[in-house]
Amino acid sequence: MADKRNDSRRNQNNNKEAQSDRGRRSGRQIRQGKLNFTLGAFVVVLLALAIRLIYIVNEHGTEYQKAVLQNQAYDSTILPFRRGDIVDANGTILATSEKVYNVIIDASVMLTYDDDRYFEPTIRAIRDTLPSLDADAIRYYVTQHESEKYYIAAKRVSYSEISQFLEAQAENDYVKGVYFEEEYKRVYPNGSLASTVLGFTRNNRSSEGQYGLEEYYDSYLTGTDGRQYGYQNDDDTLERTVVEAEDGYTIHTTIDANIQAIVEKYLKQFNDEHMNTARQGNGAENIGCIIQDVNTGEIKAMAQYPDYDPNDYKNTDALLGTMLIESYVNQAGYTIYKTTDTPITQDVLNIIPEEQLNINLSNLWKNFCISNTYEPGSTAKPFTVAAALECGAITGDEVYTCNGYLEVGGHKIKCHTYVSGGDGAVTVSDSIAWSCNVALMKIGQAMGANLFCDFQNTFNFGLKTNIDLAGEARTASLIYNADDMVPSDLATNTFGQNFNVTMIQMITGFSALINGGYYYEPHMVNKITNSNGATIENIEPRVLKQVISESTSALIRQYTRATVMEEGGSRRTGRTARPAGYAIGGKTGTAETLPRGNGEYVVSFMGYAPADNPQIAIYVVVDRANAVRQDDAKFATGIVRNVLTEVLPYMGIFMTEELSEAEIKELEEKQLAITLEYGNGESSSSSSSQELDYITDGTIIDGTGESANIYPVWMTWPVDSTTGYRVDPTTGEYIDAFTGEPINGNSSTMDEDIPINPNLEYPPGN
Amino acid sequence: MALGSAEIKQFTKKTVRKVTSSGFDFNLLFILLTILAFGLIMVYSASSYVAVRDFGGRDYFFIRQLRWDLLGLVFMVGLIFVPYKLYNAWNLERWIVYAVAFILPFLTIPFGIESHNATRWIKLGPVSFQPAEVSKILMIIFMASWLAGIKEKINTWTYLGISLAFVVPVAAVIYLVTDNLSSALIIFMICVLMIFISSTDIKKYIFFGGLLIIVAVIIIAVVYNADISDDTSFRIGRIYTWLHPGTAQDTTGHQTIQALYAIGNGGVIGKGLGQSVQKISALPEPQNDMIFAVICEELGIVGAVALIIMYGLLLYRIYSIARETKNRFAFMVAVGVMCHIGVQAILNIAVATNSMPNTGVSLPFVSYGGSSAIFLLMEMGVVFCINRTNNREAKK
């Protein structure tokens, strides 16, 4: 408005002037025209610049944005966070992070001056102080890439390797253009110890935990990267602003590294002893062992063989001796992984394609104790008996008659005593101590399918235990529903065939049977602390449910004790699990695998110690031992015996039983072996002493005649030279020298006509 | 003596009426204050990182710029009430003004402060300033006075030659003594534009304009194909890098290419105030000559174009005041101020967008710098004074 008014006023002025002086008016008008022109020119140029701006953004926007990002990457460095440690119950470090350095070459800095005043001294310093780097290769690279600012010459070099160069750099101002980028490397100081429990991190970096605790607690172990903004100041030196990294939390596991080491030692020993006996390859396809605190559910040890070194988890040497796994796609379009009969040797490794190598490696990384499912066999018997007692189907006073088999649903299901004509009269206690299938089937019939399946659920079979480890198998489809169960299914289920479990399910359920019925959630971690040691989280033992009453639990303790200790009588199956000087309870298991009838077995022993005041539960599974006859529970009981002989004294649990002379001698030898082992580090000495143990065992029975009723008829039969078993001259069967059990007894319990659980053929866990 | 509320009300009413009816150019004032405030915010944003790094406080540059802006505003308001005729009262005065403009740059020799390999500041007691900035305002006054004095004689070749002969020595002194080519160029361009507008002749200027274009094209063509080696003068090097942006990133072209990166990074709406990445290390002195690149990066094309529009409006308001005045001296002063702001804004933005070779020019009312802010605001004071005088004369 004001402008218009001004304009009209000016026009009036102009008109007045126009009348008075024509000449001056024209001069003034020209000047004003030129002023208009100048303003117009300014406006046009300003407009052109605005258009130029739009052009720049439009044409080069993304290109320039990228350049800025690159500049940033060069100007700011990431300060890596430190992944939290994993420590055991005593504070021993199981997994930690080590600072390492990447050697970065900045060619443009080295070549700042044409006279090479930086270049030559720097190359010389590299040659003299960094022997792991090829100075000539770096010289060549720099001359070929003059403007390269970021060339990684070496990765993950330790501080000791670069310290000399740093000194040289500090002494000589002309050493320029080499700098070091910090990084953390995941390190497992104990090598393969507890490898499948710990897992590893991808490429041993600080993030992406895979398998085990590393994966399950990844979000706690992982921290946040910091950032360092660097810039060049006027004097060409680098100044920095720093945002500190936030380190990951430390995970305190309940694992005791000493117990874990003892367990792993004996698993390895078993493997070494049985390697290449009946076939090429490892001592068994899998050997697993869990030791759990009966009263808290805390895992004290969880081990398996074969294992691997998480520091070098891609090393295929760990696969040697395992069975080759093949994958193929079935008709339904699913990829099926199948274990072949080919043991992996160096030759096999050389020829198999990389994808197959990866399949085999990832199988190796799996935690057998939680990821693999299998039929438990007779170790399921205490669960069946506990369920029957708890629901009132039996009182515990029953006496069953075993004729060696039972007709169920038109199928003849045998006991392992079938050949010798059955166990005869069997009490409930004997049914467990002697592992009588017929008695168990009768107990199962007394309960009925509904109650049996209810209790399967109560004991958490078919459900995850939710242990704090990555990779627990799902077993929901691997057990029966009462609706689908035919009588023969119930019968075979009572003694642990035709349904699949994981080791962690079994031992956690067993702890509940023993501790008075309290089902604790199994767990590996009881505390999480931050990098300064302050506690972030305490994880207390959690009772999920009471599965049986205290009185039932007391009976189960009594029955399982009878399986191992003298009160079980001569036919007890678990005697070989007893460590010298201790009373323990437990149950053996010998389960035939699928397909039936090919002589492949999973043998196991599940026990608790000490018998009068249970502290720990132990469970050992030997999956398809490398032996002519796989169905020998001594494979498992032998490991249990060895482990407990060392672990119980370590835990400060005193001996309660009298030692025989032979046992004293045995312990002394073992002590000597241990001393030797720690003295000169030769593991061979311990394994040779172990062989002695077995011989000693034989001597005990033969020589001393410890008890008269175990010197029966089979002891006079000839000994098979390859297996050491007695051979029945009439039937040609192998007979266990200690128990008199036919070694292939269980193979006859599961005749091929007995229906099998169709879901078990390719269980998801395998 | 307490004033009653009624009296205050009446006084306020009266003052408001008086001010609004006075014809005082509030548009110009608001545009100016907006650019100043915008400039302060951008100085704060662009400089805070450098301020923390080098001076330990993020508002170091901001506070100083705020102080100078306020001091400049005080001078500006003061000058509104100083009759501009005083600058052109007697004949000898213009020669004194010219002499000061000519001699001032020499004072950098005894009283100079060296910075960035050039001595451009004079320190006299507690006061330090850039003589080139003072010479700009003095030359505007001198040229206006001279051109108003010779009137239409400027159309003759002789007086055109004489006029240019006054300009060249001052520009030369600024270039040679303070090694400040951009200020020399700006003074030269202001004065040439003033001479151009003052004369009523056209043909001569078309001829000169054509000649200038031909020379520029020849220089560009020569440099474009030149083989640049280390001993080439840095001015030619700058022209070369302007024509080949990105070729010599680590030397002369670094600044320009980083400014382009900033513009590209900002995109249409920018990264947000304070979010510039380039100001952290890539752009040298981001609060100074390259502040426009920071504006582009943080506020995008939107913010940059808004600022360009504000400059356009500012020039238009000064232009209007120039048109209204009947006093030839005042007319020329207003034209000079308009040319000063216009030329400087255009040169600065042109450098930031790589539309011309790199040379250090500050963005008027926005860039960090005391001398520039204070003397530009004093020029604005003179323009407001002309506006005030116009209104008074119109009322009579």
Domain A78-253 -> CATH class = alpha beta
- Give the dihedral of Cα atoms B74, B75, B77, B83; nearest 10 deg: 160
CA distance A633 to A379: 11
B209 three-state secondary structure:
helix
Structure tokens at A335: 């990829």
> CB contact, 8 Å: A45 with chain B?
yes
Interface of B with A in 136-165 (CB under 8 A): 152
The answer to whether the CB atoms of A68 and B324 lie below 8 A apart is no
Cβ atoms < 10 Å from Cβ of A23: 8
pLDDT of residue B204: 86
Structure tokens at B177: 């003594």
B65 Cα to chain A: minimum distance (Å): 23
Q: Which of A34, A45, A62 sits opposite B196 (nearest CB)?
A: A34
pTM of the predicted model, to two decimals?
Answer: 0.59
Which of A135-139, A141-145, A341-345, A585-589 is the most confident on average?
A: A585-589
Chain A residues in contact with B27 by the CB 8 A cut-off are: 2
| Residue B395 in this model has a pLDDT that exceeds 90 | no
The answer to whether the CB atoms of A39 and B338 lie below 8 A apart is yes
Strands (E), A217-265: 226-232, 238-243, 250-253
The answer to whether the CB atoms of B304 and A34 lie below 8 A apart is no
| Residue A765 in this model has a pLDDT that exceeds 50 | no
DSSP string of A64-130, one letter each residue: HHHHHHHHHHHHEEEEPPPPPPEE-TT--EEEEEEEEEEEEE-HHHHTSSTT-TTHHHHHHHHHHH-
* Amino acid code (one letter) for B42: M
A624: left (phi > 0), else alpha (psi -120 to 50), else beta?
Answer: left
The answer to whether the CB atoms of A61 and B264 lie below 8 A apart is yes
Among A9, A5, A26, which residue's Cα sits nearest to residue B325? A9
pLDDT of residue A226: 83
Which residues, 6 or more positions from B391, have their beta carbon under 8 angstroms from its beta carbon? B22, B23, B24
CA distance B195 to B163: 8
- The two beta strands, A405-408 and A86-87, are unpaired
Among A304-313, B234-243, B337-346, the minimum mean pLDDT is found in B234-243
CA distance A193 to A189: 9
Chain A residues in contact with B266 by the CB 8 A cut-off are: 57
Chain B residues in contact with A42 by the CB 8 A cut-off are: 312, 315, 338, 342, 346
Residue ranges covered by each domain of chain A: 78-253
> CB contact, 8 Å: A56 with chain B?
yes
Average pLDDT over residues A738-766: 57
CA distance A16 to A19: 5
A128-168 tens-digit pLDDT: 888 888 888 888 888 888 777 788 888 888 888 888 888 88
Average pLDDT over residues A329-336: 79
The answer to whether the CB atoms of B53 and A31 lie below 8 A apart is no
B206 three-state secondary structure:
helix
Q: Which of B265, B267, B350 sits opposite A49 (nearest CB)?
A: B350
Mean pLDDT, chain B, whole residue set: 86
Peptide bond into A610 cis (omega under 30): yes
A709-722 tens-digit pLDDT: 334 455 566 666 55
What interhelical angle do A381-391 and A487-494 show, nearest 10? 110
Distance of CA B144 to the CA centre of its chain: 17
| Residue A569 in this model has a pLDDT that exceeds 70 | yes
Question: Dihedral sign, CA of A664, A669, A672, A677?
Answer: negative
Mean pLDDT, chain A, whole residue set: 81
| Residue A349 in this model has a pLDDT that exceeds 60 | yes
| Residue A237 in this model has a pLDDT that exceeds 70 | no
> CB contact, 8 Å: A358 with chain B?
no
Among B22, B150, B295, B305, most A C-beta atoms within 10 A, so best to mutate, is B305
CA distance A633 to A638: 8
Burial B336-371 (b: 16+ CB within 10 A, else e): bbbbbbbbbbbbbbbbbbbbebbbbbbbbbbbbbbb
B112-127 tens-digit pLDDT: 776 655 667 777 766 7
Both ends of chain A: CA-CA distance in Å? 88
pLDDT of residue B129: 82
Q: Cβ distance A255 to A88 under 8 Å?
A: yes
pLDDT of residue A686: 37
Both ends of chain B: CA-CA distance in Å? 36
Among A247-261, A551-565, B128-142, B265-279, the minimum mean pLDDT is found in B265-279
| Residue A219 in this model has a pLDDT that exceeds 50 | yes
Q: Cβ distance A734 to A741 under 8 Å?
A: no
pLDDT of residue B171: 93
Average pLDDT over residues B245-261: 67
Chain A residues in contact with B346 by the CB 8 A cut-off are: 42, 45-46, 49
Beta bridge partners of A230: A240
Interface of B with A in 309-368 (CB under 8 A): 311-312, 315-316, 319-320, 322-324, 326, 331, 335, 338-339, 342, 345-346, 349-350, 353, 355
Banded model confidence at residue B232, pLDDT cuts 50, 70, 90: low
Chain A residues in contact with B254 by the CB 8 A cut-off are: none
In the sheet with B127-129, reading across from the earlier edge strand, the strands are B112-115, B118-124, B127-129
Among B247, B264, B248, B238, which residue's Cα sits nearest to residue B353? B264
pLDDT of residue B304: 95
Q: Which of B265, B281, B355 sits opposite A75 (nearest CB)?
A: B281
CA distance A501 to A160: 49
CA distance A477 to A763: 9
The answer to whether the CB atoms of B262 and A57 lie below 8 A apart is no
Q: Which of A10, A68, A230 sits opposite B265 (nearest CB)?
A: A68
Among A42, A111, A231, A236, most B C-beta atoms within 10 A, so best to mutate, is A42
* Residue A423 or residue A73, greater confidence: A423
pLDDT of residue B266: 87
* CA distances, B173 to each of A748, B78, B102, B185, B246 (Å): 115, 31, 7, 11, 33
| Residue A682 in this model has a pLDDT that exceeds 70 | no
B102 Cα to chain A: minimum distance (Å): 27
> CB contact, 8 Å: A243 with chain B?
no
Structure tokens at B98: 């010219």
A82-111 tens-digit pLDDT: 899 999 999 899 999 988 888 888 887 777
Average pLDDT over residues A652-667: 85
CA distance A65 to A71: 10
CA distance B16 to B13: 5
Average pLDDT over residues A386-396: 91
Chain B residues in contact with A71 by the CB 8 A cut-off are: 261, 277-278, 281-282
Beta bridge partners of A212: A470
| Residue A78 in this model has a pLDDT that exceeds 80 | no
DSSP string of A357-386, one letter each residue: HHHHHHHHHS-HHHH--B--GGGGHHHHHH
